[in-house]
Amino acid sequence: MELLEERIRKDGVVRGEDVLKVDSFLNHQLDPLLLDEIGKEFFRLFGGERVDRILTIEASGIAVAVMAARYFGCPVVFAKKSRTVNQARDVYASSAYSFTHKTENRIIVSKEYLHEGERVLLIDDFLANGQSLRALRDIVLQAGAEPVGAGIVIEKAFQPGGDELRGEGLRIESLARIRSMSERDGIRFC
């Protein structure tokens, strides 16, 4: 997506070889007009499919997911990060290791908002090692629902998550795919 790549080039800040900060439009400050275009693009890509529900993770996924959901006309459910390890009966739970924060995140979704047979589109802001996306897919499968695919805003294509999950049969559409980045040479897209 040209508009998004331009914005990443202009406002993204590379730290080291694998951290990309996009706080100015996606992770702290949000640009609603760009998010609206991103939502529209996800609908262009997945609108031919039956989508009963969009599933994302708090917090940064919420804005993207809700903008997309306007076009799909379906509800969003956002998985919550939970600090308690107790397994509750009324939630689906999975966990995702965050390489950024070096912590294991347990994420939960109430059983009330995800049902057997539903077709669920996964949406997230970043895809790198694929931990979050695996956890979301895991929750969809626990519910007996079907993942339609995953809409990702920025994929770090030099990290293995995207290729691995595609290899496992998940359809992934990333609006910007970064082939390499560094503080010196900037960002190269696929």
The number of residues in the chain equals 190
Applying CB under 8 A, does 98 fall inside the site for a second copy?
no
Applying CB under 8 A, does 46 fall inside the site for a second copy?
no
- Of residues 10, 89, 90, 112, which one binds a second copy by CB under 8 A? 112
What span, in angstroms and rounded, lies between the C-alpha atoms of 43 and 48?
Answer: 8
Applying CB under 8 A, does 31 fall inside the site for a second copy?
yes
Q: Considering the complex, state which of residue 98 and residue 110 has its C-beta at the smaller distance from a second copy.
A: 110
DSSP assignment, residue 117? T
- Of residues 3, 82, 97, 113, which one binds a second copy by CB under 8 A? 113
Applying CB under 8 A, does 37 fall inside the site for a second copy?
no
Contacts of 73 (CB under 8 A, 6+ apart): none
Tokens, residue 187: 């960002």
Question: What DSSP line would sit under 118-169, residue for residue?
Answer: -EEEEEEEEESS-HHHHHHHHHHHHTT-EEEEEEEEEEETTSSHHHHHHHTT
- Of residues 4, 20, 76, 148, which one binds a second copy by CB under 8 A? 76
The Cβ of residue 40 has, within 10 Å, a number of other Cβ atoms equal to 15
Stretch that binds a second copy, among 70-78, 119-127, 134-142, 166-174 (CB under 8 A): 70-78
Tokens 């897209």 locate to: 189
Applying CB under 8 A, does 32 fall inside the site for a second copy?
yes
Stretch that binds a second copy, among 28-36, 44-52, 124-132, 154-162 (CB under 8 A): 28-36
Tokens, residue 13: 């800040």
Residues engaged in binding a second copy (CB under 8 A): 23-25, 28-33, 35-36, 58-59, 62-63, 65-67, 69-70, 73-78, 80, 109-110, 112-113
